[in-house]
Amino acid sequence: MNVRHRRRLSVVAAAAGVALVAGACSGSDDDTLQVYSGRHYGIENAFAQFTEDTGIEVEFLTGNDGELRERIAAEGADTDADAYITVDAGNLAAAAAQGLFQPLDSPVLRSAVPAELSDPDQYWYGLTMRARTIVYDTDRLDESEVPTTYEELAEPQWDGRICLRNSSNVYQQSLVASLIAHHGGEETLRIVSGWADNAEILGNDVLILESIADGLCEVGITNHYYLGRMIEEDPDFPVGLVWADQDGRGVHVNVSGGGVTTHSDHPDLARQFLEWLATDGQDVLVSANHEYPANPSVPPEPLIASEFGTEFRRDTLDAATFGALNADAVRLMDEAGYG
């Protein structure tokens, strides 16, 4: 398995923080939180800040989502993992379906995280929001000329003018899964077949944005934070963003999130960690990757607030619903000839 080596964060907390956890956390290995993480951007900053705030040490593995789930399943009752953190509702739903999470009845999490961003049976909770929306070449298109719905990109006038991500990508799978939930399979097949006819299919969101900036296509679909990173590096980057479907159901929003593993040795520490990520830790979790906080009481970080705004209609389809439709989406994309 291509899982990276375990690392330990042992950050000295302020005296007040140590006092708060002294009864529960002696600093021994028995009181160290073990996290397996398929999320990479900004997560180590969150681990370090959690340790600084609470005095609880964190030991963690990062790696590929599928490999980490396979590892947790193979380890069974002997797993080191207390919490599993990952990106995309499809990955979270897969972990729940594999029995890797235990239910977590947390009033803190239920209050902090909107219900549609979490599992209805409380196996996992969303912690950040990732909008997958329409981006365009600002040198060649006025905003008024940009398609405003995902469905429009299947229309013939966009033939040869769009770039989309490949079918093996879980973000694109989740978008298609959300279309299945809204339109049913037959209409979604028509839409995705139109995408396949019209689009240049690329391997990642960065390539889509670079291809638009280089004039190879005019419009694409990416997660918003990829454009945030580009603008952070180059404020004049010639790609803009429109929030999809603002006159209808709203832009598709995915999550990163996590849960407490079924065989956790420290479920209380894992619960405390997830509660911290959803409250005091929201800023550090979202800021490094320009994501929107799941907790509605936490404002977005300044760059995306200024560039993309703070008010937009988002699709309130349950993340668990489109996460559970992932396999259907993969089969439909194959049937549509979407590469």
pLDDT digits (tens, 9 = 90+) for 174-201: 999 999 999 999 999 999 999 999 999 9
What's the mean pLDDT in 249-273? 97
Burial 188-210 (b: 16+ CB within 10 A, else e): bbebbbbbbebbebbeebebbbb
Strands 162-165 and 199-202, by their bridges, are parallel
pLDDT by residue (tens digit) across 221-244?
999 999 999 999 999 999 999 999
Gap between the Cα atoms of 30 and 27, Å rounded = 8
- In the predicted model, is pLDDT for residue 205 greater than 60? yes
Q: Is the pLDDT of residue 9 over 90?
A: no
pLDDT, mean over the chain: 91
| Element housing 59 (H / E) | strand 58-62
pLDDT of residue 325: 97
- How much is the pTM? 0.89
Residue 51: band (very low, low, confident or very high) from pLDDT cuts 50, 70, 90: very high
How far apart, in whole angstroms, are the C-alpha atoms of residue 299 and residue 313? 16
pLDDT in tens, 93-141: 999 999 999 999 999 999 999 999 999 999 999 999 999 999 999 999 9
Q: 106 φ, ψ to 5°? A: -125, 110
